[in-house]
Amino acid sequence: MHFDTHGDTIKAIASLGHSVGYHYESLTTCNGDVDAAYRDFCRNLERLRSLAPVETACAHGSPRSPWNSQDIWKQHDIHNLGITYEPMLDTDFSHTLYLTDTGRRWDGYRVSVRDKVPGCQERWEQDGLSFHTTDDIIQALKQIGHPIHRKALLLNTHPQRWMPVGMAWAAEAGMQWGKNIAKRLVVLTQK
């Protein structure tokens, strides 16, 4: 965790009234050792809470890792730590549409290793709830009677993907393009 270098930023965000959540990947950083990952999660959560209140947490996808950090919660209870919401554990996806810009596109679940909701993505696609661009989402929201209006909406965004076009944007786009190719290969080998 980079609390030392980003502590002031975290405090500033909290001072503006925003919630601060913990985006964890403890099972990956602890090489699949669930108990060590739990201790790591608790230690990092305590450090983060020394900077701001934290009641939410969300696992990082870590597509190159063989471990899924959400598996910690098969042996431990995240809610006993004062976490009130972990999106993949606490969301009723029968009533909630999950949209993420993973893969630098809104329909990135096709190449995502972990950032998807199994069993739901296909149904959402059949119901007209799959979007490629931000403009596609905006158009659906503007359209009266579109199926998107019958769902709660959970958005997961990565701010670095939405910077103005320039050198940093090109570097991010190129890096994400390469990662998407690697993710496609991982997804294909899992089939």
Q: Quote the pLDDT of residue 165.
A: 74
What are the structure tokens assigned to 27, written together? 């099972």
In angstroms, the CA 43 to CA 47 distance is 6
Q: Are residues 85 and 4 both part of a single domain? A: yes
In angstroms, the CA 159 to CA 77 distance is 30
In angstroms, the CA 37 to CA 24 distance is 10
Share above pLDDT 70 across residues of the chain, in percent, rounded to a whole number: 85
Q: What are the pLDDT digits (tens) for 8-45?
A: 999 999 999 999 999 999 999 999 999 999 999 999 99
What are the structure tokens assigned to 181, written together? 């190719």
Which of 69, 90, 111 marks a domain boundary? 90
Q: pTM of the predicted model, to two decimals?
A: 0.76
DSSP code of 81?
G
Which of 73, 90, 107 marks a domain boundary? 90
- Per the structure, the complete domain to which residue 29 belongs is given by 1-90
Which of 90, 123, 151 marks a domain boundary? 90
In angstroms, the CA 14 to CA 7 distance is 11
